[in-house]
Amino acid sequence: MKVPFSWLKEYVDIDISAEELQEKLFSCGFEVEELLYLGEGVDKVVVGRILSCDKHPDADRLTVCRVDCGSYGEKQIVTAATNVFAGAVVPVALDGSTVRHEGGVQKIKTGKLRGVTSEGMFCSGEELGINDDFYEGAEFNGILILDENTNTGCDIKPVVGIDDYIFDIAVTANRPDCQSVLGIAREVAAVLKKTADGKLPAFRTDYTAERTDVRIPVEVRDTKLCPLYVGSYVKDVRIGTSPRWLRRRLALCGMRSVNNVVDITNYVLLEVGQPMHAFDRKFLHGDKIVVRCAEEGEKITTLDEKEFSLHPDNLLICDGERPVALAGVMGGLNSEIKDDTTEVFFEAACFARDSVRKTSRALGQRSDSSARFEKGVYEIFPHMGMTRALHLMQQLGCGTPTTYTTIANCPDLSAYTIPSKTIDTTYEKIDALLGIEVPKEEVNGILRRLGFSVTEKGEAFSATVPLWREDIDGFPDLAEEVIRMYGYEHISPTFLKNATVTMGGLTPAQETELKFKRTLAGEGFMEACNYSFYSLKDYDLLRLPADAPERRTIAILNPISEDLGVMRTILLPSMLQNVVRNVRRGNESGRLFELANVYLAEELPLKELPEERKKAVLALWGEGDFFDLKGAVEAIGAAFGLKLAFARTEKPFLHPGVSAKVLLGEREVGFLGELHPEIAEELALEKKVYVAELDYDGMKKKFKGDISYHNLPKFPDVERDLAVVVDEKVTCGEMTECILRACKAVKGAELFDVYRDRRLGEGKKSMAFRLTFAADENAEKGLSPETVDGYFKKIVGSLNHTLGGELR
Amino acid sequence: MDENDKIVEEAEAAASQAEDSKSLYEAKLQFLGREGKVTALMKRMKEIAQELRPAFGKQVNALRAKLEALFSEHETRMKELELQKKLSAEQVDVTMPGRRHRAGTLHPVTRVKNELIDIFAGMGFEVFEGPEIENDYYNFTALNTPADHPARDMQDTFYLTDEFLLRTQTSAGQIRLMEKKKPPIKMLSPGRVFRSDDDATHSPMFHQMEGLVVDRGITLCDLQGMLDKFAKSMFSETSKTRLRPSYFPFTEPSVEVDVSCHACGGKGCSLCKGTGWIEVLGAGMVNRHVLENCGVDPDEYTGFAFGMGIERIAMLKYGINNIKLLTENDVRFLEQFKE
């Protein structure tokens, strides 16, 4: 919200600097995002009167002028401009001055032009940063010629209206009433205590109405979309140029002047916050207004000559025959104000904010008006805007207000009122919420300055809310009004002095999650964090078939981009992206993991909240191989007391020979393996990448809770090494299982060597295990060598029998 | 007896020449062994006259004792020598790099989240996590943000259907908890949130930590008191907080909370853009409508809520200058966050 300092000063007697006002606004909830000084870069530029103009002795195009600069004395200025003449009053940039130049600042010094001294420079409007709306002739390509009555020697800034500030204010969503100069002025008056009752007497809406028989009735078909429509007829309109002060204010807020009537509607938008529209009455066929939804395919051409084909969601303002405006967005070309307009019908309405937003977005047509409606317009504003517009019409002499003002769907105007809200509460309630005691007089004074009318009733009071504050609906709102004006520095920190003592901390589930992460960190994995969405294309990258369950994914209706268009059902793709990014940046090796939710829909489109299932993904590249990754998975198993088993599996995205599923009992709880070489190639990954995904929520139920202690064995374990020659196809898993099954006394069988040699035979390998034998927990004595020999023989026999293994 | 002296001399020479324990032992055997010179002398006993035998025997014993002492001395010397040799042979270059197990790291967001939980758990907060996909009611309506409310524009929402959306704030958890649990409540709700915003300072997904206290007699002063403690624990012992008015639909009054800049101590620097203050979180007294929506009597109970971006805290705390670093997962970045 852009607010000029000078405009505020019209309504509030501000006796502090712009910087001080910025602080004040900040303290009461209005952050000034930018404070712009319009005279920035223009320094030591003064008003001068040209006394004489002579040709330069050595240059045809240059003119040598003698200039009276008032108290700065007489100066000689050499100029190339052709519009200077003796007697002209012009801006003179003196020696050591600065002016605006091509978006920056230029320093001006005394110098010689073709041998003749020039003690400065004349300025154009552009060099002062102004256009015609600030000063007549400012856009002329040459020197700015000032009014001849301007005093010489004056600083140029006040003369051309740039000794001013623009406050760019962030207004919170609950304060649409402050999306206007008047709204901010009300706040400023309250915070500076320049009003006692919230009124700004300088803001005038009075006018004299002349009788008329003209009737332009307004019919609103959908009062939800248009809760209020105020119209007024103005006669004897004389289209012309707006006065300087008005044009300048529009320009300060970034608007161009069009003509007096259109300027008034824009001025009211900026000042009151009410979007207005002016129709030329002679183009309103049938002398009536109908507010209705568009028919499918109905067309309108807006003021900017764009044609739109409409949809029943779009609200239209129509005359007796055709659409004349796109409600709240822009007027129609067919009824615009022209130079020969003599009668005007003003519109000031409330349109539903989401209706305006939908239309504006759907058609890609935005305007100051639609932006304003989207923030919300309260019921009082159309009335305030309309009376202000009529006041200005009269004041500027560009038309005669009439007695015909109408409110749609309201047969009896005299009975029309806007209901006001009154809040009954106590000073104690306000204090109890704030935790401090604010003196009664302070509470009353603050609320009154903000326009509330306060009636004190002993310890209680009632506050009638000003009509422009529809956001206020209870005592906490009053408490907020009080404290933001009283000052937050009055809040003195206390530490829950009345609260009950409670127990705090993580839930067991959260502690487990943290332990899971720490376990993986202990294995050298770094925790990654990825977006919860990715691209549908990721499924193709993974070669997932069309009917793969992972493809049942929840789509975002309004994604940032297609690449972030669907919710994750598998964590692997984001992790692969991480690996690719790391490798591309020269990080030759690494280990990453992520523990995050995937989103699994029962039904699509969603009928209920989907399942959010926590999964873990691991990746390792550069250093290490399949068994390093498997070691990390096993570490998880060990940390949580899970008996994980591994079996060969095939996944479309894994190397068919180097991929396993992770089993917890019968249940598959994950996979691990080498990324399929084809995918690796597609991703330009030269080194092998190993990945795993674990179903954290699937394993969670089996996580061992508390540690339970096992008695130490009474007798030491006995170790024996066993090397067996088997066929290449026999797996370690099969052998281990066979050994453990053959003998109960074997506590562990750990593979420590695999050996291949021609002498062992074609297609054979030797597998060496370290066997650990333990005596039964209740045994009286330890294992004798003879007993162990017996076990050993039994194992060898079983290996031979089951897997064809030969003792080496 | 010249011969004995000669033997001692010989033994001394042999022992001195021995290069290691083994040759010293062999030398010893030559004199003191079963076949050694002392035994040979003893064998000569029978060639000696009866009356001279005791004296002879005494002399041989004396010789034996002398030799034993001699060898023992050399053995001690040899042991010492050999130890020195061994130690010097085993010398390593202590300046060579150590062999290390490379530990992994927890993500900075996780670290800050844990730290926040620690701070607030100590004040009696329990952790509650709600779903990341929410319905319109919990994310907006119950939080006093009905369909037409201007505040919906404050947070650009990712919609999945008309009804379901990605939660834009962890405040949705407030409602779910208050439906289940009656006051006194001290809750902390960390988690992922989503906004359709993507630029240098905004990420479409980030983490928030929501705090909620509902009890009898809770005031705005309590809110600032608690946040003061938080700022001191999180940033520095001398940190202070400042409240200023703001707006959130689910709190009234609403405040922005600034923390004095920990980099310059409030004097003004580039981090705080010269103001001495850094905007850290939003907070306020829980809106009465929100309490009513959860079946809590707003005339009996009051409360406050606060919400902060975990990424923002992490960036401030660790001096991270770009939010994108937090989701790029570059291992050179991540490895800096070691335990």
For A451-506, the pLDDT digits (tens) are: 999 999 999 999 999 999 999 999 999 999 999 999 999 999 888 877 788 888 88
Q: What's the pLDDT at A640? A: 94
* Sign of torsion over alpha carbons A232, A234, A239, A243: negative
In this structure, are residues B212 and B189 in contact, taking their beta carbons and an 8 Å threshold?
A: yes
Nearest Cα neighbor of A91 from A76, A112, A69 is: A69
pLDDT: which is higher, A88 or B95: A88
Token pair, residue A403, equals 């007695």
ipTM confidence: 0.84
Reply yes or no on whether the pLDDT at A747 is more than 60: yes
| Interfacial B residues in 58-97 facing A (CB < 8 Å) | none
Rounded Cα gap, residues A204 and A186, in angstroms: 14
Cβ pair B327:A517 closer than 8 A = no
Residues from chain B contacting residue A521 (CB–CB below 8 Å): 103-106, 339
Q: How far is B158 from chain A (nearest CA, A)?
A: 6
For A213-245, the pLDDT digits (tens) are: 999 999 999 999 999 999 999 999 999 999 999
Q: A35 and chain B: CB distance < 8 Å anywhere? A: no
How many other C-beta atoms are found inside a 10 Å radius of the C-beta of residue A47? Answer: 24
Residues from chain B contacting residue A484 (CB–CB below 8 Å): 245, 253
Rounded Cα gap, residues A651 and A673, in angstroms: 9
Q: Summarize the confidence of residues A354-365 as an average pLDDT.
A: 91
Residues from chain B contacting residue A375 (CB–CB below 8 Å): 150
Instruction: Give all strands (DSSP E) within B180-301, no chain letters.
Output: 185-194, 205-215, 241-248, 251-260, 277-286
Cβ pair B123:A504 closer than 8 A = yes
Q: What residue in B sits closest to A582 (Cα-Cα)?
A: B330
**CA distances from residue A467 to A232, A348, A556, A788 in whole angstroms, order as listed:** 22, 17, 41, 97
Q: B247 and chain A: CB distance < 8 Å anywhere? A: yes
The 3-state secondary structure of A94-163 reads EEEEEEEECCEEEEECCEEECCEEECEEECCHHHHCCCCCCCCCCCCCCCCCECCCCCCCCEHHHHHCCC
Cβ pair A498:B104 closer than 8 A = no
Lowest mean pLDDT across A338-342, A711-715, B58-62: A711-715
Q: B288 and chain A: CB distance < 8 Å anywhere? A: yes
Give Cβ neighbours of residue A489 (< 8 Å, ≥ 6 apart): none
| Interfacial A residues in 322-351 facing B (CB < 8 Å) | none
* Rg of chain B over all Cα atoms, to the nearest angstrom: 43
Residues from chain B contacting residue A520 (CB–CB below 8 Å): 104
Q: A516 and chain B: CB distance < 8 Å anywhere? A: no
| Interfacial B residues in 297-326 facing A (CB < 8 Å) | 302, 326
Using a CB cutoff of 8 Å and minimum separation of 24, what contacts does A243-252 make? A243/A396, A244/A135, A244/A136, A246/A396, A247/A132, A247/A133, A248/A133, A248/A134, A248/A161, A249/A4, A249/A7, A250/A133, A251/A131, A251/A133, A251/A134, A252/A2, A252/A4, A252/A6, A252/A7, A252/A38, A252/A164, A252/A166
Q: Summarize the confidence of residues B178-191 as an average pLDDT.
A: 92
Reply yes or no on whether the pLDDT at A309 is more than 70: yes
Least CB-CB distance to A504: which of B125, B161, B339?
A: B125
Q: B148 and chain A: CB distance < 8 Å anywhere? A: yes
Q: What's the pLDDT at A782? A: 86
Cβ pair A495:B106 closer than 8 A = no
For A319-337, the pLDDT digits (tens) are: 999 999 999 999 999 999 9
Least CB-CB distance to B196: which of A375, A493, A560?
A: A560
The helix/strand/coil state of A596 is strand
For B112-154, the pLDDT digits (tens) are: 999 999 999 989 999 999 999 999 999 999 998 877 776 676 5
For A143-177, the pLDDT digits (tens) are: 999 999 999 999 999 999 999 999 999 999 899 99
Least CB-CB distance to B205: which of A532, A557, A585?
A: A532
Q: How far is A734 from chain B (nearest CA, A)?
A: 32
**CA distances from residue A664 to A669, A670, B235 in whole angstroms, order as listed:** 6, 9, 44
Rounded Cα gap, residues A328 and A312, in angstroms: 15
In this structure, are residues A379 and A311 in contact, taking their beta carbons and an 8 Å threshold?
A: no
Q: What residue in A sits closest to B116 (Cα-Cα)?
A: A505
Residues from chain A contacting residue B104 (CB–CB below 8 Å): 520-527, 591, 593
Q: B332 and chain A: CB distance < 8 Å anywhere? A: yes
Least CB-CB distance to A528: which of B107, B243, B255?
A: B107
Helix (H) or strand (E) holding A211: none
| Interfacial A residues in 153-182 facing B (CB < 8 Å) | 172-176
Q: In a mutagenesis test of the A interface, which of B106, B133, B180 is the best target, namely the one with the most A β-carbons within 10 Å?
A: B133
| Interfacial A residues in 472-491 facing B (CB < 8 Å) | 474, 476-477, 479-480, 483-484, 488, 491
Q: A375 and chain B: CB distance < 8 Å anywhere? A: yes
* Rg of chain A over all Cα atoms, to the nearest angstrom: 42
pLDDT tier at A44 (50, 70, 90 boundaries)? very high
Cβ pair A510:B164 closer than 8 A = no
Nearest Cα neighbor of A618 from B157, B224, B104 is: B104
Q: DSSP H helical segments within B18-151, as ranges?
A: 21-32, 37-43, 53-89, 108-121, 136-139
Q: B57 and chain A: CB distance < 8 Å anywhere? A: no
Q: A436 and chain B: CB distance < 8 Å anywhere? A: yes
Q: How far is B69 from chain A (nearest CA, A)?
A: 45
Q: B103 and chain A: CB distance < 8 Å anywhere? A: yes
Q: How far is B292 from chain A (nearest CA, A)?
A: 13
Pairing verdict, β B164-166 and B185-194: unpaired
Q: How far is B308 from chain A (nearest CA, A)?
A: 18
Q: What's the pLDDT at A301? A: 95
Helix (H) or strand (E) holding A188: helix A181-191
Cβ pair B221:A172 closer than 8 A = no
For A386-421, the pLDDT digits (tens) are: 999 999 999 999 999 999 999 998 888 888 899 999
| Interfacial B residues in 180-199 facing A (CB < 8 Å) | 184, 186, 188, 192, 194, 196, 198
Q: How far is B108 from chain A (nearest CA, A)?
A: 9
Least CB-CB distance to A480: which of B150, B252, B330?
A: B252
Q: What's the pLDDT at B153? A: 64
Q: Summarize the confidence of residues A527-553 as an average pLDDT.
A: 95
In this structure, are residues B63 and B41 in contact, taking their beta carbons and an 8 Å threshold?
A: yes
Rounded Cα gap, residues A464 and A454, in angstroms: 7
Reply yes or no on whether the pLDDT at B1 is more than 60: no
Q: Summarize the confidence of residues B254-273 as an average pLDDT.
A: 89
Cα of first residue to Cα of last residue in chain A, in angstroms, is 88
Helix (H) or strand (E) holding B102: none
Q: What's the pLDDT at B93? A: 84
Q: A586 and chain B: CB distance < 8 Å anywhere? A: no
The 3-state secondary structure of A401-430 reads EEEEEEECCCCCHHHCCCCCCEEEEEHHHH
Size of interface A-B (CB pairs under 8 A): 260
Residues in chain B: 339
Beta bridge partners, A108, equal A97
Give Cβ neighbours of residue A530 (< 8 Å, ≥ 6 apart): A571, A574, A575, A577, A578, A594, A596, B327, B329
Q: How far is A508 from chain B (nearest CA, A)?
A: 10
Q: What residue in A sits closest to B335 (Cα-Cα)?
A: A526
Q: How far is A241 from chain B (nearest CA, A)?
A: 37
Rounded Cα gap, residues B211 and B214, in angstroms: 10
Rounded Cα gap, residues A353 and A70, in angstroms: 56
For A256-297, the pLDDT digits (tens) are: 999 999 999 999 999 999 999 999 999 999 999 999 999 999
pLDDT: which is higher, B152 or A355: A355
Reply yes or no on whether the pLDDT at A348 is more than 60: yes
Q: What's the pLDDT at B98? A: 84
pLDDT tier at B6 (50, 70, 90 boundaries)? confident
Residues in chain A: 808
The DSSP output letter for A332 is: B
Beta bridge partners, A302, equal A332
Token pair 């609906």 is at which residue? A473
Q: What residue in B sits closest to A353 (Cα-Cα)?
A: B148
For residue A503, which phi and psi values (nearest 5 degrees)? -85, 140
Per-residue exposure over A192-203, b if at least 16 CB sit within 10 Å of its own CB, e if not: bebbeebebeeb
Q: How far is A400 from chain B (nearest CA, A)?
A: 37
